[in-house]
Amino acid sequence: MVHCVAIDEDLLVLDKPAGLLCVPGRGEDKQDCLSARAQALWPGALVVHRLDMATSGLVLMARSPAVQRQLGLAFEQRAVHKRYVAIVHGLLRPASEDPAAWQTIDAPIAADWPRRPLRIIDPAGKPSQTRWRVLAHDPPGWPGCTRVELEPVTGRTHQLRVHLAHLGHPILGDALYAGEPIVARAPRLLLHAEQLGLAHPRHGDWRGFESPAAF
């Protein structure tokens, strides 16, 4: 099953569930994925970007190689607006006096080679920036936690997860970057790609899409 948020002759916007790969992995047990499901319904659909398997939310696909190139370039040029929501461990406090102000995490990320596919904060890593702001402390059902809004400026692997763990506030349910008690607090990683916006590759007008988080 694939939940299609929007479709036209050029692109697809799909809502990926948590626990589903975006593209096939290695092994027969990892062939079921969002791209395979989409291609079964819309032959020729092409991957433009990915979400972690554990992350849910909006994924953009192209319906032709030409559009795939256009959209890929838009991602490279940071012309695609992406916004996520997460619930993190602890009460995250902004440095600003304005609790609604955006803050920035600027911490380079590198591969943790002995523990691949994990990533680490490393001065020799690739420059990585994430904008964040607090939406609520103690959200219903999650006492002692913070609901945050996130905007990745760069697009490193596991960036949001690594940056929040670096702040000392890992995402609930994060089996890679949180300790067992924090993992056990949620049935899944509480990270969701909630908003996606871009200039349409054919018409040039701005299109915005939204998928409210289930948590």
SS3 content of the chain, % helix, strand, coil (to 5): 20, 35, 50
- Which residues have C-beta within 8 Å of that of residue 151, sequence separation ≥ 6? 81, 82, 83, 84, 102, 130, 131, 132
The single-letter DSSP state of residue 21 is B
Task: Let me know if 52 is a catalytic residue.
Answer: yes
Q: From residue 155, how far is each of 22, 114, 145, 158, 180 by CA, in Å? A: 16, 22, 25, 9, 27
Q: Are 129 and 153 in contact (CB under 8 A)?
A: yes
Catalytic residue among 15, 29, 52, 138: 52
End-to-end distance of the chain based on CA atoms, in angstroms?
A: 21
Just list the catalytic residues.
52
